[in-house]
């Protein structure tokens, strides 16, 4: 189940779902066949790098013996994959002659509107509205901790998971590199 949940968080849909909302009976049957017989649909490498996809593929293996034994093993493999992704990214940045995430502008320079737009680009609309309502600019964003991300919006947080925070931060770096 964790593999399906992680896939949905990253892709915005469950694996094998055609993605158009309501399905006909024929589409439902095709989806069921795909679930039973097909391998996990690949995700774009910029959305889900290979180490992350390897953990998902294993968790979605058809044969139970090929899956992680429990949530602890899944979590451990996921943490290792995310560390590998971070290390690879840092190594590539160093090879290009700069520190990881180095940009002309910093996160602190982002306006409330820019921060909200980045959240919208990641499809976190409710959190984007909370950013506007709470006037969270780049400086304020940098002060947010894990609890601020996890706490529900009605309780003054953003209602996001740590993995979603990583996605936001990657989007911020991409945005800053693009706008310079």
Domain boundaries, the chain: 2-95, 107-179
pLDDT of residue 98: 55
Q: What is the pLDDT of residue 103?
A: 44
Predicted local distance difference test score (pLDDT) of residue 2: 85
- At residue 6's C-alpha, the angle toward residues 85 and 91, to 5°, is 5
- Closest C-alpha to 96, from 177, 179, 166, 169: 177
Q: Which pLDDT score is estimated for 43?
A: 82
Single pTM value for the model: 0.50
Per residue of the chain (180 residues), give pLDDT as tens: 788 888 888 887 888 776 666 778 888 888 888 888 888 888 888 778 889 999 999 999 989 999 999 999 999 999 999 889 888 877 776 666 555 445 478 899 999 999 999 999 988 999 999 999 999 999 999 998 888 888 888 888 888 887 888 889 888 988 898 887
Q: For 42, phi and psi rounded to 5 degrees? A: -65, 150
The DSSP symbol for 51 reads H
* Burial per residue of 74-87, b for 16 or more beta-carbon CB atoms within 10 angstroms, e otherwise: beebbeebbeebee
Name the class of domain 107-179: mainly alpha
List of residues 6+ apart from 78 with CB closer than 8 A: 6, 52, 55
3-state secondary structure of 97: coil
Give the per-residue pLDDT at 102. 52
pLDDT of 20: 63
How many Å from the N-terminal Cα to the C-terminal Cα in the chain? 40
């Amino acid at each position: 189940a964790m593999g399906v949940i992680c896939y949905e968080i990253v892709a915005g849909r469950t694996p094998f779902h055609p993605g158009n909302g309501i399905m006909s009976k024929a589409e439902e049957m095709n989806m069921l066949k795909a679930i039973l017989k097909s391998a996990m649909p690949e995700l774009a490498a910029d959305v889900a790098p290979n180490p992350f996809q390897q953990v998902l593929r294993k968790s979605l293996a058809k044969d139970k013996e090929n899956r992680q034994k429990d949530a602890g093993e899944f979590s451990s493999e996921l943490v290792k994959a995310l560390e590998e992704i971070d290390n690879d990214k840092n190594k590539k940045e160093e090879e290009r002659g700069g520190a990881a995430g180095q940009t002309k502008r910093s996160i602190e320079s982002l306006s409330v509107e820019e921060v909200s737009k980045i959240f919208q680009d990641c499809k976190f609309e409710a959190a984007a509205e909370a950013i506007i309502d709470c006037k969270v600019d780049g400086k304020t964003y940098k002060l947010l901790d894990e609890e601020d991300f996890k706490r529900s919006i009605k309780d003054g947080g953003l209602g996001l998971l740590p993995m979603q925070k990583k996605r936001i931060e990657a989007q911020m770096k991409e945005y800053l590199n693009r706008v310079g």
